[in-house]
Chains A and B, each alone.
Chain A
């Protein structure tokens, strides 16, 4: 299989020749995914914590739905966002279809349930530990949620990274709502699908390797910045 070695060779060539198109694609991939992860975290983390500390009717059902939404097929999300943002759709007036903003919207919908669900599970365990303490201190609901989110921050990083992982590797939804337009909405995953369609397997594999390397670098960087996974702060 010379295809494999061609792919590896192609990847290194792309990276070391500083191909400007490649850097544009990488930059857009990161821009879309990181923006989506930030927005989804702002929504999902407090939502998970809120669900952990509050008792209300149908709570169990809400959590079950949230867990089920973790497996939402991206292509379905893409279709719904597409129909909504199309000029003929209810939000067509904003002209957002085939823009990075549309891709961010789709990704936020895909990863928010994931982040909320994982953070709910994390906070629930922490809440069991902190329950008596926070109640005896007469902390308000908001104070409780804040304390839990802060003390659980390292574990919550996992929720955020899971969201990042799902978003950076996603292709179905962003292909539909982004349109894979060169120099506008082309990202790593849609470029891989395109090159595979052209039969350029070596180039597609090269892009795939770049995607994997980037995902690893980002995860490592976050651990280093967050000082997690180190001997002193296990």
Chain B
């Protein structure tokens, strides 16, 4: 027994030594897309940098940056990002890539979302039909976008047809496929999702559904312990030609999940 314990403690102590490590809070939609599994090994190989991802909604990612618990964040909610910067929690915002949001739902499509003229018209049709709709309900970037679309549609989503699950993108898609309900998701999470069941993509293409991902290093004057040097090194890599090639080449079933659009000086 003592031998086992000694061995375990030794193993525990041996875990210490590491290459350079930094932490980035990323959105569940980015993580569920599977892109990080392509990028992280490349970053490790080229920069000898271990990037540890904390996978949360955009709302919580911003809180983690505010509290200094991560070195940088990668999120997609412009208004929240701007107030984060205005409060001095981050140094600057760098756009990395984009894709779009889509509506998915059952093939029977009782609200006839597939023939909607715009994103707001799609939501109006769902509300009018009181068709089951699953919302993230977790203050994430996707959730903020969905709420802003409801607002521009002039509808306060309420009633038994509107289910706010308060979970990440994957968990929300699981609920939608379980209930055979409509939901609002980003294209990357949708393409990489393993449990589509009967759900199909019904509506996309409205410019209002544009989904920009941006990278923000946490302000080192506010939190001296953050690895600002590593955050800049990672930003440099994420906006490089190598990252551009990898991001634009990442496809599932012949479809692009993200489009690189970082502006370089």
Q: What string of 1s and 0s marks CB contacts (under 8 Å) between A24-45 and chain B?
A: 0001001100110010000000
Give bound CA distance, A229 to B196, whole Å. Answer: 48
Give bound CA distance, A34 to B9, whole Å. Answer: 10
A178 closest partner in B (C-beta) = B54
Interface pairs (13), CB distance under 8 Å:
A30-B8, A31-B11, A31-B12, A35-B12, A87-B67, A87-B69, A100-B15, A181-B52, A196-B171, A197-B170, A197-B174, A199-B195, A225-B4
Chain B neighbourhood of A27, CB < 8 A: 11
At the interface, yes or no: A9 with Cβ under 8 Å from chain B?
no
Contact: A34 with B8, CB < 8 Å?
yes
Q: State which residues 104-121 of B face A: CB under 8 Å.
A: none
B34 closest partner in A (C-beta) = A198
Q: State which residues 1-43 of B face A: CB under 8 Å.
A: 1, 4-5, 8, 11-12, 15, 23, 28, 32, 40
Give bound CA distance, A38 to B6, whole Å. Answer: 12
At the interface, yes or no: A200 with Cβ under 8 Å from chain B?
yes
Give bound CA distance, A27 to B7, whole Å. Answer: 12
The B contact surface, by secondary structure, is mixed
Contact: A199 with B174, CB < 8 Å?
yes
Contact: A197 with B223, CB < 8 Å?
no
Chain B neighbourhood of A92, CB < 8 A: 67-68
Q: What string of 1s and 0s marks CB contacts (under 8 Å) between A55-99 and chain B?
A: 000000000000000000000000000000011110010010110
Give bound CA distance, A174 to B70, whole Å. Answer: 17
A221 closest partner in B (C-beta) = B4
**How far, in Å, is B40 (CB) from chain A's closest CB?**
8
Give bound CA distance, A58 to B226, whole Å. Answer: 47
At the interface, yes or no: A10 with Cβ under 8 Å from chain B?
no
At the interface, yes or no: A201 with Cβ under 8 Å from chain B?
yes
Return the contact of B223 from the options A87, A180, A198 (Cβ within 8 A): A87
Contact: A98 with B174, CB < 8 Å?
no
Chain B neighbourhood of A89, CB < 8 A: 67
At the interface, yes or no: B254 with Cβ under 8 Å from chain A?
no
Q: What string of 1s and 0s marks CB contacts (under 8 Å) between A189-203 and chain B?
A: 000001011111100
Give bound CA distance, A97 to B68, whole Å. Answer: 11
Contact: A87 with B68, CB < 8 Å?
yes
A88-B195 CB under 8 A given contacts A95-B225, A181-B54? no
Q: State which residues 9-31 of A face B: CB under 8 Å.
A: 27, 30-31
Q: State which residues 87-141 of A face B: CB under 8 Å.
A: 87-89, 92, 95, 97-98, 100
A197-B5 CB under 8 A given contacts A87-B69, A180-B55? no
